[in-house]
């Protein structure tokens, strides 16, 4: 399909109307994560067919509400073909045995070039997502040139790619390519950059070493934003955004997680907004594990706008200052991804059905429009609808 450029990414707050959302339907790259969940940062094995059914339902729920949804593969195959070929060329690697001579090496370089030039967009996208490595050695029993090498195939897939939230963030000012902390997820930042290019979006910046920054730690909130700092996003990565003005000139509340544990790896795994004056938090964060907040404010200097840290206070006290009422959910509900639904608009929430009727009823009692969706298989990858969506454009109704 042809891709119409989005041009400008902007997300002033979590509760404004979602207009453009990027997702990634689980495909062959996800299979490799399911085959060994302990190497992919997945929670448990799950049925890929059921995961696709759930993902299709998630997309349908958004589109029925007028959201324009792009799938990652649709963008790769319908965008800039030259850029896709370049990415596929870099993703396909030949590793040659020392017994392969210079003449054969030159011919293999040419074969690599011809292969990439021949493949169509869908196959090129698979190459980008799977990152195949062909290890070649001479075949002592070759019948002719077509079988003169013995291959061993490896793939180094972007197996977490259906979680489109984490490789980037979308602020009021635009899109930022982050830097994933876990090595198994490093390919996702390159894929995110390629997808933004395909959508016609120029990122504000890309986080570089030694910093780390992941999308699940960022929640925009109008005149301010919440930026998680903990297990997977660090002070250096956050500092790069502050220095670049990438948060859009709003107050930045850096929420420092004292736990830094995988069961609540990102801010959006234990905290959620439902509207400008209502949020939810896991009740295990009300005591000793309540985060502290460093408040950074923009100020004009002779060199341009910069940020200055003004104070530190408790997370709940900060939310109270912003007139945000905070309800709680239990640790058992958090384990069932109560925090990880997706707001389509203010008080308009796509929730994980498995979070339980009691939790969903508490939201409804506070005026939240709740639409439960099935996500049992997809949460096996360790995330819910918030993790598996990147809202590129939000606008006021």
- The number of distinct structural domains making up the chain is 2
7 lies in a domain?
A: no
* 261 lies in the same domain as 120: no
pLDDT at 2: 53
Per-residue pLDDT at 303 exceeds 60: yes
Per-residue pLDDT at 53 exceeds 80: yes
Per-residue pLDDT at 110 exceeds 70: yes
Per-residue pLDDT at 6 exceeds 90: no
Structure token pair of residue 316: 């709940």
How far is Cα 247 from Cα 9, in angstroms, rounded to an integer?
Answer: 12
User: 61 pLDDT band (50/70/90 cuts)?
Assistant: very high
* 151 lies in the same domain as 165: no
368 lies in a domain?
A: yes
Per-residue pLDDT at 5 exceeds 80: no
- Segment 368-379 mean pLDDT: 98
* 47 lies in the same domain as 87: no
* 211 lies in the same domain as 63: yes
Q: Which of 155, 179, 210 is the last residue of a domain?
A: 155
Per-residue pLDDT at 292 exceeds 60: yes
Per-residue pLDDT at 23 exceeds 70: yes
Here the contacts of 303-307 (C-beta below 8 Å, separation 24 or greater) are 304/245, 305/245, 305/249, 306/242, 306/243, 307/242, 307/243, 307/252
Indicate the pTM of the whole model: 0.96
Q: Which of 155, 177, 205 is the last residue of a domain?
A: 155
* 315 lies in the same domain as 257: yes
User: 4 pLDDT band (50/70/90 cuts)?
Assistant: low
| Residue pair 97/137 in contact by the 8 Å Cβ criterion | yes
Per-residue pLDDT at 304 exceeds 90: no
Q: Which of 139, 155, 171 is the last residue of a domain?
A: 155
Per-residue pLDDT at 1 exceeds 60: no
3 lies in a domain?
A: no
pLDDT at 3: 64
CATH of the domain at 48: 3.75.10.10
* 378 lies in the same domain as 342: yes
Domain that holds residue 101: 78-155
* 202 lies in the same domain as 93: no
User: 105 pLDDT band (50/70/90 cuts)?
Assistant: very high
* 311 lies in the same domain as 239: yes
How far is Cα 357 from Cα 8, in angstroms, rounded to an integer?
Answer: 38
Mean pLDDT (the chain) is 96
10 lies in a domain?
A: no
How far is Cα 307 from Cα 160, in angstroms, rounded to an integer?
Answer: 33
Structure token pair of residue 266: 């990102």
User: 301 pLDDT band (50/70/90 cuts)?
Assistant: confident
- For residue 100, the SS3 value is coil
The 10s digit of each residue's pLDDT in 332-341 is 999 999 999 9
* 291 lies in the same domain as 385: yes
| Beta-bridge partners for 394 | 18
- For residue 33, the SS3 value is helix
């Amino acid at each position: 399909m042809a891709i119409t450029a989005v041009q400008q990414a902007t997300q002033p707050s979590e509760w404004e109307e979602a207009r453009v959302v990027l997702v990634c339907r689980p495909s062959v790259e996800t299979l490799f994560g399911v085959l060994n969940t302990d190497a992919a940062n997945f929670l448990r094995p799950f049925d890929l067919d059921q995961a696709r059914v759930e993902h299709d339902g998630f997309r349908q729920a958004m589109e029925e509400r007028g959201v324009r949804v792009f799938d990652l593969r649709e963008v790769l195959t319908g965008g800039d073909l030259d850029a896709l070929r370049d990415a596929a060329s870099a993703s396909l690697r030949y590793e040659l045995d020392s017994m392969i001579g210079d003449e054969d090496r030159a011919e293999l370089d040419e074969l690599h070039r011809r292969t990439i030039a021949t493949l169509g967009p869908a196959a090129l996208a698979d190459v980008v997502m799977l990152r195949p490595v062909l290890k070649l050695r001479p075949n002592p029993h070759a019948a002719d040139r077509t079988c003169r090498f013995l291959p061993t195939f490896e793939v180094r897939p972007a197996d977490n790619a259906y979680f489109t939230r984490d490789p980037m963030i979308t602020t009021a000012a635009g899109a930022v390519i982050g830097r994933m902390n876990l090595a198994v997820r490093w390919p996702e930042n390159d894929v995110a950059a390629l997808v933004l290019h395909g959508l016609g979006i120029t990122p504000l910046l890309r986080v570089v070493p030694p910093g780390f920054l992941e999308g699940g730690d960022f929640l925009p909130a109008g005149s301010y934003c919440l930026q998680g700092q903990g297990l997977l996003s660090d002070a250096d990565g956050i500092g790069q955004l502050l220095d670049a003005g990438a948060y859009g000139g709003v107050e930045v509340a850096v929420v420092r997680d004292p736990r830094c544990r995988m069961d609540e790896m990102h801010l959006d795994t234990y905290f959620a907004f439902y509207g400008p004056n209502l949020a939810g938090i896991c009740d295990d964060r009300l005591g000793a594990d309540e985060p502290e907040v460093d408040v950074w404010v923009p100020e004009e200097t002779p060199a341009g706008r910069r940020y200055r840290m003004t104070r530190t206070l408790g997370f709940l006290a900060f939310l109270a200052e912003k007139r945000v009422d905070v309800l709680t959910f239990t640790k058992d509900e958090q384990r069932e991804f109560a925090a990880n639904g997706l707001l389509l608009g203010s008080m308009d929430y796509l929730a994980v059905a498995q979070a339980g009727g009691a939790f969903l009823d508490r939201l409804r009692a506070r005026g939240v429009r709740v639409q439960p969706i099935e996500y049992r298989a997809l949460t096996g990858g360790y995330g819910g609808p918030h993790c598996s969506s990147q809202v590129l454009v939000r606008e006021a109704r």
